[in-house]
Amino acid sequence: MNVGIVGASGFAGLELLKLLLQGHDVEVKALNSQRFAGKKVSSLDQTFPSKGLRFTGYSIEQLIDLDLDLVFLCLPHGEAAKLAPKFGCKVIDLSADHRGVKEAGEKRVAYGLPELFADEIRRADLVANPGCYATACILSALPLTSKGWLKRTVFDCLSGYSGAGREKTSAPEFKARVKDNAWAYDLTGHRQVPEIQAVLGNRFSFTPHVVPLFRGLLCTQHAALKQPKAGRDVLKAYEAFYKGKPFVQVWGKGCPDLASAQGKPFFAVGGFEGKENGELVTVGSLDNLLKGAASQAVQNMNLLLGFPEGKGLVE
C-alpha cells in the first residue's frame, strides 16, 4: 500500500511519519511540506531515525498522479476541506474540517474514534481524525453513557503546548508566555466542543488549559451519576466496555499522570473515586500527538486498508 502525508513537517505529521517508517508495511511516497520542501526531515527533529530522508513539495496534481492508496492531511484547520475531495483514494484528515460531516464531495465520512465507530470507519472513504481533547473526554465518559448512568459531567483538561502547532509555538511571544506558566483558553467556544457534544449530548462542561510541557494531555472528569449507588459498579463497567480495545487502559484506583501516556499510543483512565453525593472522579491521560493525533490516525488507516488495528502500534 502506498500512502502520502500532506503537511508532514508539523508536529503530528512527523509523529505519523515515525510510526509508518518504524513498524508498518506501507510505503510512504510523499512527505509534502511547502515550507520545508527539499530539506532533510532530521533538520526539524535531530532524533529522526532516517538522516537522509527529505520533505517533498509535490503539487496536488502530482500527488494525485502518485496513485496513492491513502493520504493523510496534516494541515491547518480550513485547508483540508479544500483538498480532500480532489483525491480519488482514501483520506484521513487530522484537522477539524470534517468532524461532524457525513459527506465530502462523493466521499463517505466517518468520525475516527475506533473504540466507538470501527465499523463505520471500515466502510468510509474519508475519516475525520478526532481532536485530542475530544478523544480524552469522550473515552472518559463513554462507559457511563452506555449504562445510562451519566446525568452531567465536567472535564478539566491540561495539555502540552505542542497542540498549538509548530508555527505558533516557534513565535518568541509564545515561548515567553509558556515558560513557567499555564492558562485556560476558549472557555466556552473551543472547536472540539461540537465533537464531544455529538457523542455525549449536552451533558458536559469542558475547560482546556495549556501547561509548560511539550506533549501530553490530562483529563480530570467530575461526573454526576443518575444512580449514586452505581458508583460501586463503575470500575467493572469500564473494564467491560473497553475489553478487547487495545488502545484504552483501565487502571482501577491508580491515577494516570501526564507522563503515563507520553510517547505511547493509548488512553489510560483511572481514579474512580466516588463521593457521597453521587459524583464520580476519573483521571485520564493520553499523548496529544499520538492517541490524540498520529497513532489514532494509524489505527484508522489500519481499519480503512484492512490491516489489523494495532499494526505498527503494538508488537
Catalytic residues: 132
**Cα–Cα–Cα angle for 280, 286, 287, rounded to 5 degrees:** 160
